[in-house]
Amino acid sequence: MHKFFPIQLLLLLLVAFQVSAQNPPQFQIHSHNDYLQTVPFWTAFSAGASSIEVDVILKDGKLMAAHEIASIDPKRTIESLYLDPIAEGIENGLISSINFHLLVDLKTEAYSTLEVLVESMKNYEDILYSTDNPDGLKLIISGNRPTSEDYKNYPAWMLFDYQSKELSTDLPWAKIGMVSLSFRQFSIWNGKGRMVEDQRVKLQNFIDLVHSFDKPVRFWGSPDSKSAWKAFHEMGEDYINTDYPIDAADYLSKLGENVYQNTSKHEVYQPKLEVDGAEVPMQNVILMIGDGNGLAQISAALFANDNQLNLTQLKNIGFVKTQAADDFTTDSAAGATAYATGEKTNNRAIGVDSEGNSLNNLPDILDEYGFSSGVITTDQLTGATPASFYAHHPERDNSDQIAAYLPKSKLDLFIGGGGDSFASQAENLENAGFNLVEKLEPTDADRIGYFAARGSLPKKLDGRGDYLLNSTTFALDFFEQKKSPFFLMVEAANIDSGGHANSTSTIVSEMLDFDEVIGKVLQYVDAHPNTLLIITADHETGGVSIPQGDIASSTVELAYHSDDHTGIMVPIFAYGAHSGDFRGVYEISAVFHKIMKLVEKYHDN
């Protein structure tokens, strides 16, 4: 046997080790015409394929791996491409277990070809299935086969591919390894969109029939796309036929993460719309930022919540271009700084311009107009978005330096995680007049600070509960008591985390949590018609799209182009006083100037 592996095989084997170390997948792949892969066998093995196909032609007493005589290469035999690598892989410990079979598609006459195959396999008896080696390699014979009556005459390691719609109890099931048919016998679907229902039912019925005999099923000539792989997986096809085993395995292995069914729906508030867009004196501004929250994220939450959201009740909608001063794709620091100061800055910079000079932010500026201000976040308070409304520092990760700005800020309220970062600032915060509370309850304090966690807050699905809703409700009551105009920034930070992690469940659950808070704020605006509500995002995260879903079951599948921010425009929604001013398409920094134009119109400094 050969003892040398080309370098590309070794590289693929590294991937194979990763696959074999994982839990067994909930799907099985058939690597169709595997011998045509650049690296036969190892490509399929690295993808975790359970079924690996090789076409075989008997030529001059040898079993050539080829589809027709014209394509025969003397170096490419079933032994050289498959049996030798498998034997050597087992010997070298590269293959820890045989959790696959070879589907051998005979292109020449069955009996003579099998005679040579049986003889050749005597050289590999130590790796073959037998009663003494129940974990050994099995071969399933397809293509030209002997009559079913003769299946019993072949060794235990040899099974057969049965190819007929006619199934009965008197078939030699003990020697049938799988049932295979052409997909075109059931459907003409091309793998795009959805299969026609009556064709899908015919296919499903046949799958169920094969399973009633406790045998696996495969369809050749089937569509080879993500939509098709998902459909066949959901229908229970045992060996999903593909020419792209690595791509198919990667997609199917992530279905559990990419598909999410929401079981926690909330009622949607119907805004009165009586004051929406009215040119009445603007007293209060509430800016709600869904970090990383693009149109696909909003759509996913919509479809997972009975096709309705509080957010989608709004009529005044625009789009924001999010680019930073130094980069096409912004980060949260530059994005939030643009909202807070009206100037674009470099990525990673908080509250400073592109030259590093401090910029006045909305709480600083609005203090001169008699406004109170507050920030609420599901992030740590040194996080880029909340920090941009009180700090001035060129590097977002310098949490100690950022924390030192909070006592100097004009904020009257802060609520968020990350209390440990402010341990050295506790005395300064108290000296600045902040009452650092242990829980949110009615108070007559003039300034309030609440560290909801020493470090990061949990995600919604990990037990955060109604923290954001309760915090926002407390803040609205707090500012109501102060009887002065106010500015409040509310950040839902973990939609962004879901985008970075490509976690559909995180994106949807965090967006729905955000939407519940939006409903509460809409009620507040209806009761306080001089309030302007703005809801937007700092950027989109994940390059998210929605290839499939089911509104009836509140299920969505998300796909991801990236695990980072993107330059896609983000939607902006407005409600209440002068909300119509926020229609259109404009730069992210323009939101600040639109707010300030209204402040200057109705307030004196």
The catalytic residue positions are 332
Query: At a CB cut-off of 8 Å and minimum separation 6, what does 75 contact?
Result: none
**Binding-site annotation: residue ranges:** 291, 385, 491, 496, 500, 538-539
H or E element: which one contains 435?
strand 434-436
Contact 78, 108 (CB under 8 A): no
Per the listing, tokens 């169709």 go with 32
Say if residue 135 is exposed, middle or buried (CB neighbours under 10 Å; 0-12, 13-18, 19+): exposed
Closest CA to 277 of 576, 522, 528: 576
Contact 335, 326 (CB under 8 A): no
Say if residue 355 is exposed, middle or buried (CB neighbours under 10 Å; 0-12, 13-18, 19+): exposed
Query: Taking CA 251 as the corner, what is the angle to CA 53 and CA 21, rounded to the nearest 5 degrees?
Result: 75
Closest CA to 1 of 96, 135, 126, 155: 126
How far CA 483 is from CA of 364, 444, 527, in Å, comes to: 19, 12, 15
Contact 570, 586 (CB under 8 A): no
Q: What is the DSSP letter of 128?
A: B
Three-state SS for 211-249 is HHCCCCEEEECCCCCHHHHHHHHHHCCCEEEECCHHHHH
Closest CA to 414 of 394, 395, 398, 433: 433
| Positive/negative CA dihedral, 537, 541, 547, 552 | negative
Pairing of strands 316-321, 570-576: antiparallel
Query: At a CB cut-off of 8 Å and minimum separation 6, what does 337 contact?
Result: 343, 344, 345, 349, 350, 351, 352, 359, 361, 388
Contact 54, 44 (CB under 8 A): no
Per the listing, tokens 């909070």 go with 406
Contact 539, 329 (CB under 8 A): yes
Axis crossing angle, helix 226-235 with helix 197-212, rounded to the nearest 10: 50
Q: What is the DSSP letter of 393?
A: B
Per the listing, tokens 């080829």 go with 66
Distance (Å, rounded) from C-alpha 216 to C-alpha 222?
Answer: 16
Structure tokens at 439: 């829980």
Distance (Å, rounded) from C-alpha 345 to C-alpha 359?
Answer: 10
Count of CA atoms in the C-beta half-sphere (13 A) of 233: 21
Say if residue 603 is exposed, middle or buried (CB neighbours under 10 Å; 0-12, 13-18, 19+): middle
**Binding-site annotation: residue ranges for Zn(2+):** 291, 496, 500, 538-539
Residue type, 525: V
Distance (Å, rounded) from C-alpha 384 to C-alpha 493?
Answer: 10
